[in-house]
Structures are given as structure tokens and as C-alpha cells.
Amino acid sequence: MEFETLLTPGANVLVNVARAVLLMSVGWVVAQLLSRLSRRIKDNVISPHHKILLAKAIFWIVLVLFLVTALHQLGFKLGVLLGTAGVLTVALGFAAQTSASNLISGLFVLSEESFKIGDIISVGPTTGEVLSIDLLSVKLRTYDNIYVRIPNETIIKSEVKTITKFPIRRFDLVVGIAYRTNIEHARQVLLDVARDNPLCLDEPEPLIILQGFNASSIDIMFAIWSTRENFLALRNSMQEEVKTAFDRAGIEIPFPHMTFYTGADCAPLPIKLVGDTEQAQQQDKPVERNAGFSEQ
């Protein structure tokens, strides 16, 4: 198709170009203005990430409308443009199947609202704060200030943990006590630590569960609750306070050890301390005098 077939007969090219440039300039300003106004909608009316998507949608819709009007001023026939756009859309659809999959997945992510901007989520090995939720991907900022882009298709196929979804969180501390320790005494010491910690919530109450008999210790799970804002502070302080309270109460946190037992009918295993033996031999060895030495 030749370029002349797209122009209407008798069009004044210079005037139409000037009109098209003016329309695009006005369209850009109007699109920016409407996009900024949509961002001022209150959060109780629409969620923050929906607000961002609405602003982007308004911007591009207004800009495309002015672009179509500007092309019409240049003499391009709208029907031919729509036909060409349809062919290009089909071609791009086959060439960009991954992008199309991310786009469709993005619609599901937006409709589910399992997380929002500002939440802390975990996707596979990546954990960070949600910066934006777009149609193609989700952007995160990790704790070590790294920018991560996760495609929406990966979000749909993976397990996503929203850490800040609820206002409170539970910290599970697993601690081992020696077999000779009184379990009820250890339980009371842990409850006293939770009661004295101001970051620990009284409701829900702290939970103590005996997890089993390990090779060197009796394992106890100490579960305590805090607000999500104080979770890291509680996690750091509670471990230190439990260790200090156990030391004060004489409760041992045993380390792994092994006992050799050969049976009642076997003789004890012989033990030879090589280092001590050599040192003792050196101490018992007589000092040799020099043959040329004479006592005065």
C-alpha cells in the first residue's frame, strides 16, 4: 500500500502538521493532568496499587485518543489505521507470548488483592517490600536495598507469602533443655520472660509445646505474639532474655554430645593421653651433664 493512499485529497500538509503537533502537545498536558488528579483519590475509596493503575490507564487512553485525532488531521484514514493495528496486534501476540501470559497473570494478581503496595512479601528465595504492582510484573525492594522485578507469571505459579497481611505475628523459638531439668520449672521461667517483655502480647497468650526428645536435649517450642512493627525487636530481645533467664535459674541448654558404651560383658576401653604422657616423660628424663664441665 502506497503512502499517498492514506492522505485525503487536497490536504494542506503544513497546516495539518501544525494542528497535529498542537493536538499532541495538548493531549500530553491533559493526560498528565488527569493522571495526577486520579492519584488524589482517597485510599479508603480505592487501594494504592489500583490508584496507580488507574492513573496509568487514564494517561495512555487520553494520549491515544489525541494521537488518533492528530493522525486524522494529517490525513490518515482511520479505517486503514485500525486494520493495520489489528494485523500488528495479531503478529505481536504470536511474537510476545510470554508478555501476554504476564499480562493475563497480572489481571489475576490485581483481582485477588493478596498483597498491596507497601506489604512485605516472600516469593521463593526473595523477600522484600512491594514497590509497584503492574500488568507485567511486581517490583520489590529487598532488605539489603536491592531492586527486584518478578514477572506476574512467576507470581501466579509460585507460593507467595504476605508477611505483613495481618496486624500481629507469632515468633516460634525452639530451645533445648537438659534431661535432668524440671520441665515445669523451665516452663515457668519462659512464661516469666514473656510476661516481663513489653513487646510480647498478652493476647493471644504465649504457647509452650514439647516437641520431643532429641539426642542431647528435650526440645521445647516457645511461641509468643507481637505486633508486626515490633516483630524483629521481639525476635532479637527474646532470645537474649531466655538465655539470661536460663543461666540465672540454673537451666542448662545442652550441646550435642556422644557416649560410648561397649556393653556390660566387655572390658572398658583403654584411654591413652598422648600429650600428657610425652610431657611426663620429658619431666622424668634426667638432665645430661656436659663431659667437659667440672664443678669448682
Confidence of residue 189 (pLDDT cuts 50, 70, 90): very high
Residues 19 and 70 in one domain: yes
Residues 142 and 174 in one domain: no
Residues 245 and 172 in one domain: yes
* Residue at 138 is within a domain: yes
- With a cut of 90, say whether residue 1 has pLDDT above it: no
* Residue at 107 is within a domain: no
* Residue at 130 is within a domain: yes
Residues 130 and 72 in one domain: no
* Residue at 194 is within a domain: yes
d(CA 270, CA 84): 93
Residues 156 and 190 in one domain: no
Buried b (16+ CB within 10 A) or exposed e, 169-201: bebebebbbeeebeeeebeebbeebbeebebbb
* Residue at 290 is within a domain: no
Query: Tell me, what CATH number does 181's domain have?
Result: 3.30.70.100
Residues 183 and 154 in one domain: no
* Residue at 118 is within a domain: yes
Residues 84 and 146 in one domain: no
Prediction pTM value: 0.59
**How many H helices and E strands in the chain?**
8, 8
Buried b (16+ CB within 10 A) or exposed e, 38-62: beeeeeeeeebbbbbbebeebbeeb
Beta strand 168-177 with 160-162 is: unpaired
Range of the domain at 214: 168-249
CB 216 within 8 A of CB 255: yes
Nearest Cα to 151, choosing from 100, 209, 82, 115?
100
HEC per residue, 108-171: HHHHHCCCCCCCEEEECCEEEEEEEECCCEEEEEECCCCEEEEEHHHHHHCCEEECCCCCEEEE
- With a cut of 50, say whether residue 11 has pLDDT above it: no
Number of domains making up the chain: 3
How many Å is the Cα radius of gyration of the chain?
37
Residues 120 and 154 in one domain: yes
> For the segment 19-77, what is each residue's pLDDT rounded down to a tens digit?
778 878 888 888 888 888 877 776 666 766 667 777 777 887 888 887 877 777 776 66
Query: Tell me, what CATH number does 141's domain have?
Result: 2.30.30.60
Amino acid occupying residue 164: T
Amino acid occupying residue 104: I
Domain-terminating residue out of 69, 95, 121: 95
Residues 192 and 223 in one domain: yes
Q: Is 100 exposed, middle or buried (0-12, 13-18, 19+ CB in 10 A)?
A: middle
Residues 200 and 244 in one domain: yes
Residues 148 and 180 in one domain: no
Query: Tell me, what CATH number does 68's domain have?
Result: 1.10.287
pLDDT of residue 237: 92
Those residues whose C-beta lies under 8 Å from the C-beta of residue 116, and which sit 6 or more positions away, are 47, 48, 49, 130, 133
> For the segment 226-254, what is each residue's pLDDT rounded down to a tens digit?
999 999 999 999 999 999 999 999 999 88
* Residue at 55 is within a domain: yes
